[in-house]
Amino acid sequence: MFSIFDSQMMLRAIELAERGIYTTAPNPNVGCVITQGDDIIGEGFHFRAGEPHAEVHALRAAGGNTKNATAYVTLEPCSHYGRTPPCADALINAGVSRVVCTMVDPNPKVAGRGIQRLRDAGIQVDVGLMQTQAEALNPGFIKVMKTGLPYVQLKLAASIDGRTALANGQSKWITGAEARADVQRFRAQTGAILSTSQTVIDDNPSLNVRWAQLPEDVQCEYDQTRLRQPVRVILDTTGKVSSDAGLFSLEGNVVVLTANKDLGYIHENVEVILVPKAQHGLDLNAALRLLASKGINHIWVETGATLAGGLLAAELVDELIVYQAPKLMGADSRALVNLTGLTSMNNVPTFELTDVCQIGNDVRLRMQKQ
DSSP 173: T
Catalytic residue among 15, 18, 51, 55: 55
Strand order of the sheet with strand 298-302? 270-274, 254-258, 231-235, 192-196, 298-302, 151-159, 319-325, 362-369
The yes or no reply on residue 336 touching a copy of itself (CB under 8 A) is: yes
| Cα-based torsion angle of the residue sequence 46, 47, 50, 55 in order, rounded to the nearest 10 degrees | -20
The yes or no reply on residue 330 touching a copy of itself (CB under 8 A) is: yes
The yes or no reply on residue 182 touching a copy of itself (CB under 8 A) is: no
Nearer to a copy of itself, 273 or 312 (CB): 312
Measure the N-to-C terminal CA separation of the chain; round to a whole number of Å: 31
**What is the spatial distance between Cα 40 and Cα 175, in angstroms, rounded to a whole number?**
45
C-beta of 183: minimal distance to a copy of itself in Å? 17
The yes or no reply on residue 332 touching a copy of itself (CB under 8 A) is: yes
| Cα-based torsion angle of the residue sequence 166, 171, 173, 176 in order, rounded to the nearest 10 degrees | 80
Q: Which of 63, 109, 120, 167 binds a copy of itself (CB under 8 A)?
A: 167
With beta carbons less than 8 A apart as the criterion, state whether 232 and 255 touch: yes
Give binding residues for NADP(+) as ranges.
157, 173, 199, 237, 304-310
C-beta of 280: minimal distance to a copy of itself in Å? 15
The yes or no reply on residue 279 touching a copy of itself (CB under 8 A) is: no
Task: For residue 7, give the H/E element and its range.
Answer: helix 4-18
C-beta of 335: minimal distance to a copy of itself in Å? 4
Written as one string, the DSSP assignment of 11-53 is HHHHHHHHTTTTT-TTSPP-EEEEEETTEEEEEEE--STTSPP
Span near a copy of itself by CB under 8 A; candidates 54-62, 197-205, 235-243, 317-325: 317-325
3-class secondary structure, 56 = helix
Q: Is 55 a catalytic residue?
A: yes
With beta carbons less than 8 A apart as the criterion, state whether 156 and 164 touch: yes
**What is the spatial distance between Cα 348 and Cα 344, in angstroms, rounded to a whole number?**
7
The yes or no reply on residue 159 touching a copy of itself (CB under 8 A) is: yes
The yes or no reply on residue 170 touching a copy of itself (CB under 8 A) is: yes
Query: Contacts with a copy of itself in 225-254 (CB under 8 A)?
Result: none
Give binding residues as ranges.
53, 78, 87, 157, 171, 173, 187, 199, 203, 207, 210, 237, 302, 304-310
Nearer to a copy of itself, 201 or 353 (CB): 353
Query: Catalytic amino acids?
Result: 55
Q: Which residues bind to a copy of itself, rule: CB under 8 A? A: 158-163, 166-168, 170-174, 305, 309, 312, 320, 322, 324-333, 335-345, 348-353, 356-358, 361-363, 365, 367
